[in-house]
Structure 1
Amino acid sequence: MLLGGFFIANALMAEVIGVKIFSLEASLGLSPANFSLLGEGGLSYDLTVGVVTWPIVFIMTDILNEYYGVKGVKFLSFLAAGIIAFAFLVFYGSIHTAPTTWWVESQADKGVPDMQAAYTQILGQGMNIIVASLTAFIIGQLADATIFRKIKSITGGKKIWLRATVSTLISQLIDTIVVSYIYLYFSLGFSFPKVTAVALVGYTYKFVIAILCTPLIYLVHAAIRKYLGKDLANKMKLNS
């Protein structure tokens, strides 16, 4: 319940906050990278804020896979996707309620002259990006779970870092490619080189974060073993 709740909460938060694009360099106090790739110039690490919590989702995926197997990951992945879809239906309904005049103008002195417009822009993400994101999420999760299980069948209970890191790196690549091409190429009409360059830039960030997050896998494993006890934890891993 704890792992599942944390998994779903982070997935939902990533979808909601992901509407904002931030500059990684500026956030770190650095100048924009401004490099070229595949003939596309002026590229920098301009990323969706959703990448802040998505790595946590993939870590949770590996932990769940370790103790509950592919079946457990599939169950929570589809449940999370369903909850996210339901959340956006609720957002859609709330956006289309009639706002009171005083509320629309209530934050004008703080630089927000139209609260309804701001509310709509933040919560009313386009259907194309929602479909792209959920599709990428499901495909990425299933790939992560399958690869993780395949490596575990080869290495046994050893080398957690290997199956966790490799499965995350591959699934993150798949996730990035799917969401980028569905949304940027098919929906917005960006050129193939442009979409590929943007996807590769985003993936390099995810690649580094996946490597840096590997020690967290061991910390979570240690916490679970302490909570369940060594015997029960080993039994669950064997039966997963």
Structure 2
Amino acid sequence: MLLYLNAAFTGLLILSNILAVKLFSLGTWAILPAAVIVYVFTYPITDVIGEVYGREAARKTVLAGFVTQILAGIFIYAAIHLPAAPFFEAQAEFETILNGSFRITIASLLSYLVSQNLDVTVFHKLKEKHGSEKLWLRNNLSTIFSQLVDTTVFIVVAFYGTMPIMALFGLIVTQYLFKFLVAVLDTPIVYFLVKLCKKEKQTANVQMS
């Protein structure tokens, strides 16, 4: 299961980077990047990994995600700048979809490193305090807090100076409210995955003994 969780984590990260160029609206009060519907699910994955396989495994997952994003950025940059075939008429669209600005890329990587490592740290501080109990508490508190940091760091680094302060604040609030809601709703998924992983781990231990 750990292999599948790591694959899902890195896959969702890369997918969120690709989807980031699409903006969608929730009524008239919120405009959000499509990446948010994918990226929010990376946090419960690291929580599940940390709960079952330990802090170090969760840290390695975060690091693997960072390295994967760097490699993806390099290969996407190379693909964009390869000479287009004479009959390939979608080069401009290809660049528009895949070629994010340098500032946004830096903002994304910085917010990822800070928030994901913070999530792991807070989760395990609470686990040290409560042991195997109150998974719902450490899952929600670690995710809710780290998502706030992620949203704030990304928007400030990516857009500070390009729009009024109140507009920046509005972006932070609307994106965070969406992430907050998803963090609360994904708790049953975390419990299900933890149960599944622990069952597989116990089975593997029995077979080895």
- The within-5 A match list for 1:4-153 is 4-23=6-25, 25=26, 32-33=27-28, 44-104=29-89, 115-153=90-128
**TM-score of the aligned structures, taking structure 1 as reference length:** 0.81
Match of 1:171 in 2: 146
Q: How far has the Cα of 1:67 moved from its partner? A: 2.4
CA positional deviation for 1:86? 1.1
SS of 1:102's equivalent?
coil
2 CA distance for matches of 1:231 and 1:78? 26
- 2: distance between equivalents of 1:158 and 1:18? 36
Q: CA RMSD in A?
A: 1.6
- Does the CA-based 8 Å contact 2:55-2:124 persist in structure 1? yes
Comparing 69-78 and 142-151, the one that deviates more: 69-78
Q: CA offsets, 1:58-116, max 9 Å, x none?
A: 01010111123332222221221111111111111111111123221xxxxxxxxxx10
After superposition, the C-alpha distances for 1:114-161 in whole angstroms (9 at most, x for unaligned) are x10000001111111111001101101111001001111111110110
Alignment partner, residue 157 of structure 1: 132
Contact 2:46 2:61 in 1 (8 A): no
**Aligned residues with identical type, % of pairs:** 26
Which sections of structure 1, spanning at least 5 residues, go unmatched? Answer: 26-31, 34-43, 105-114, 234-240
Q: Secondary structure at the match of 2:147?
A: helix
Bigger radius of gyration: 1
Alignment partner of 1:210 is 2:183: yes
TM-score by length of 2: 0.92
Deviations 1:6-61 (A, max 9, x none): 111111111111111112x3xxxxxx23xxxxxxxxxx221111111112100101
Corresponding position: 1:222 with 2:195: yes
Q: What residue ranges of structure 2 are gaps of 5+ in the alignment?
A: none
Q: Which stretch of structure 1 is more off in the superposition, 142-151 or 92-101?
A: 92-101
The alignment of Structure 1 onto Structure 2 pairs a total of residues equal to 204
Cα shift at 1:232: 4.7
CA contact (8 A) 2:52 2:197 kept: no
* Displacement of 1:231: 9.1
Aligned counterparts of 1:9 and 1:232: Cα–Cα separation in 2? 28
User: Distance between the aligned counterparts of 1:170 and 1:191, measured in 2?
Assistant: 25
Q: Retained in 1: the 8 A contact 2:115–2:149?
A: yes
* 3-state SS in 1 of match to 2:63: helix
